Structure 1
Amino acid sequence: MPSKASPIHFITGSDESAVKKAASALVQKLAPGADAFGLETIDGAVDTVDAAATAIQSTMQALLTMPFLAGAKLVWLKSATFLSDSVMGRSETVADNLESLSKLLTEGLPDGITFVFSAPQPDKRRGIYKTLTKLAQTTVHDLPDLGFNAGEEEMIEWTTSRVHARDLQMSPAAIEALTARVGLDTRQLDTELEKLETAFGKSRAIEAEDIRNLVPQTREGGIFDLSEAVSRRDLPLALDTLAQLFRQGEKGVGILLASIVPTVRNLLLAKDLITRHKVPPPSQPHFFASSLKRLPESALSHLPKKKDGTLNAYPLGIAAMNASHYTLPELEAGFAACAEANQRLLSGSLNDETIITRLLIGLMARKAH
């Protein structure tokens, strides 16, 4: 373990946003209000071998240049991209320059010099990484390891923790919509949460509609919005989202298989469980798993499983919360209609948008009684 008095600070990890924030905060703490003589910053966010070599050589020169008038100086190699496992990172030229930097650090810095090295997405097999973690006060900011079996529920829980850390009021549906758009990109998540906080403050409850209006729609976000619209039987939202997906260049088969079929299947499975086995709809999706545990194995064998073979109850919980929007015969007919739509898409008899639009209208339009 390096001494707390080590003048070398290494900030790294797979969470690029957290690495950048932590490095900036540390530099401000170590050299508050420093001028050009007290702080020398070298930009390590480069994309060529030559630029990487120049950044490393400039860093070494700065570390060996004594502070002005015998004062103190902080050298910051900022956001270095050449520690990653990339063509640039594996370059022999870069490796040789990093070896020289490693040797300089091992021999010790001149008095009055402090070094901050920040590098997101590092290749931990590199010699310089091992040297820095031994010599420096090291802080690692990694994205959450949700595990091999992680899925929608774990990602939503992670997003929820970030929302709560900011003390924002956000409905479960809004958190799900935000997760679908952002995933595990902490930089984008922080940006979007700042935007939402500015727009609504900490006291106003943020709803899914607010997320759809303010957070840019990715492909995953569009697929989620369409799934949610089908679940809620919101035909206008479904058709608007479908049009947006086609404008983004999505294909009909992809939309059908990624969003509509899984949603209708889960609604059908959930409705059957509620109807046949009297399973009560949950107030929250994750509560559904406990209800399913009370059923015999014969009632569960056909339900979707995770990669490890355990029951994937969370999406079924979402479906169970929305199953009241449909009757069982409507969902049975809708699932059959999905198969027919798939055949039409493959045959090319009509254009994709017409086929999917007709499917959604047939499934979701309220029948006159």
Structure 2
Amino acid sequence: MPPKKSAASAASNFIAVLGTDEALMKEAAIRLSRELSPPDAGDFGVDIIEGIAESAEHCAQIVRRSLDALQTLPFFGGGKLVWLKNANFLADSQVGKTNAATEGMETILDYVEQQLPPEVKFLLSASAVDKRRSAYKRIQKLADLRTFDKPDTSKTGWEDEVIPLVERRARDLGITFDNDAIEMLVHLAGEDTRQLDSEVEKLSLFLGERTRVTVEDVRLLVPLNRAGVIFELGNAMGKRDLRRALELVRTLVYQGQSPIGILLAAIVPRVKSMLLAADLVARHPRLPRTAYPAFAAALDKLPASETSHLPKKKDGSGLNVYPVFLALGESSKYTAAELRAALQACLDANLKLVTTSIDPQLVLERFLVGMLSKPGQRKAA
């Protein structure tokens, strides 16, 4: 029997690739499988076990096959790779809740922790993982863990995690994006890496001899989904385009979107960003406004008392001011008093939506008329 291994030494030949971003996770797992496969070992040096279990019985079979592969040394000596690929029984699912799944994974981890031979490398890949389970905590402890999770789009600042991926892919293709264009693309394609890659490639082909993507290019080629309509509603507010804003609200309501959701997801964030932008410009008129890195760097140099009210990244590592940067130009179309009144009107609209029987669409339309109409137009509106 091979000697027992400590958790620290197990990590050197146990690699786990996990994450909800399935495209990135699978790409990383394939790349690692090539790197970890013993040279010139052929089929004898690599064991791949498909980990998609359709039932508890099937899960038990996958566990047995994985253990057999881990315990079987290479026939001709040398190293060996065992890859448990796309395991779905780590998830909070019907199959994942069975004893075959929970106890089976613990059995695999017991073997990896105590008996995995140094010449055998174990690669585990999975997308959906229940992080409440002891198995996940043991994987964190035992494995060289690589995580590829999609950003949580319900959290402020999720775009900051996606935009660098788009920029990297664009550089690979020799193109660049206008600030507004890349923001629009991210809101249209969301956090789906595969769709983002596809849309960037499509834009690259469309450009021909041009190398810079504009908002018009994105609007022409990328489908306008629910997120896109919400994003366009924010743009219409920024441009103070009442007619377009009313059209988009009616589109969202027609699509079955919740009016309170429209208010909280599209309207309130835009009003807040413009108000913050107007306040920053008024107090610090020399702030850079043409490039986001310079803008963010200038804010970092300000005293904490000047930036404590600005949104933070979800990990607390710094300011999340990209939406504020994008709102710098938009805020100039309003006075500070108008933006403060608009934020108060958001609260009033929220109360009407949840406490009265007034038609929700009418509440939103009245809000937009009050905010976007120029002072001389409001009486007529």
Q: TM-score, normalised by structure 1?
A: 0.68
The one-letter code of the counterpart of 2:328 is A
Equivalent position of 1:347 in the other structure? 356
Q: Return the letter of the residue paired with 1:162.
A: L
Q: Aligned pair in 2 of structure 1 residues 237, 47: CA closer, same or farther (>3 Å)?
A: farther
**Deviation at residue 253 of structure 1 after TM alignment:** 2.8
> Residue in 2 aligned with 1:76?
83
| Matching residue within 134, 158, 170 for 2:161 | 158
Structure-1 separation of matches of 2:301 and 2:121: 58
How big is the alpha-carbon RMSD for the aligned residues of Structure 1 and Structure 2?
5.0
Residues 1:237 and 1:212: Cα distance change in structure 2 (over 3 Å): farther
One-letter amino acid of the counterpart of residue 17, structure 2: T
Pick closer, same or farther for the CA change 1:332–1:104 going to 2, 3 Å.
closer
How far, CA to CA, are the matches of 1:290 and 1:365 in structure 2?
34
Residue 24 of structure 1 deviates from its aligned partner by: 1.8
Mean Cα deviation higher: 68-77 or 114-123: 68-77
Task: Determine helix, strand or coil for the equivalent of 2:15.
Answer: strand
What aligned pairs does 1:79-94 form with structure 2 within 5 A after superposition? 79-84=86-91, 88-89=95-96, 91-94=98-101
Given candidates 11, 15, 29, the residue that maps to 1:10 is 15
Matched, 1:21 2:30: no
The alpha-carbon distance between structure 1 residues 117 and 124, as it changes in their structure 2 partners (threshold 3 A), is farther
Distance 1:241 1:313, change over 3 A: same
Q: Secondary structure at the match of 2:88?
A: coil
How is 1:133-152 mapped onto 2 (pairs within 5 angstroms)? 138=144, 140-143=146-149, 151-152=156-157
Q: 1:60 and 2:64 equivalent?
A: no
- Output the amino acid matched with 1:12: V
Other structure's SS at 2:176 match: coil
Q: Which moved more, 1:225-234 or 1:43-52?
A: 43-52
Distance 1:293 1:35, change over 3 A: closer
Whether 2:195 is the aligned partner of 1:195: answer no
How far does the alpha carbon of each residue in 1:210-242 deviate from its partner, in whole angstroms, 9 at most, with x for none?
445555666555433322221122345433432
Indicate if the aligned counterparts of 2:23 and 2:193 stay in contact, CA closer than 8 A: no
Count of aligned pairs between the two proteins: 351
- 1:322 counterpart residue number: 330
Label 1:192 to 1:247 Cα distance change in 2 as closer, same or farther (>3 A): farther
Aligned-pair distance for 1:12?
A: 1.8
Distance 1:103 1:329 in 2: 64
The answer to whether structure 1 residue 238 and structure 2 residue 281 are counterparts is no
Query: Secondary structure at 2:87's aligned position in 1?
Result: coil
Question: Where in structure 1 are there 5+ consecutive unaligned residues?
Answer: none
In structure 2, the gaps of 5 or more residues are 1-7
Query: Retained in 2: the 8 A contact 1:44–1:79?
Result: yes
Structure-2 change in CA distance of 1:332 and 1:10 (3 Å): closer
Q: CA deviation at 1:352?
A: 2.4
Contact 2:109 2:138 in 1 (8 A): no
Provide the identity percentage: 30
Query: Which amino acid letter does the alignment assign opposite residue 363 of structure 1?
Result: M
State the distance in 2 between where 1:83 and 1:196 align: 33
Between the aligned partners of 1:20 and 1:248, the Cα distance in structure 2 is: 34
Q: Which amino acid aligns with 1:193?
A: D
Indicate the larger mover: 318-327 or 66-75. 66-75
The aligned amino acid for 2:361 is E
Instruction: For 1:133 and 1:258, locate their aligned partners in 2 and report how far apart those are by CA, in whole Å.
Output: 38
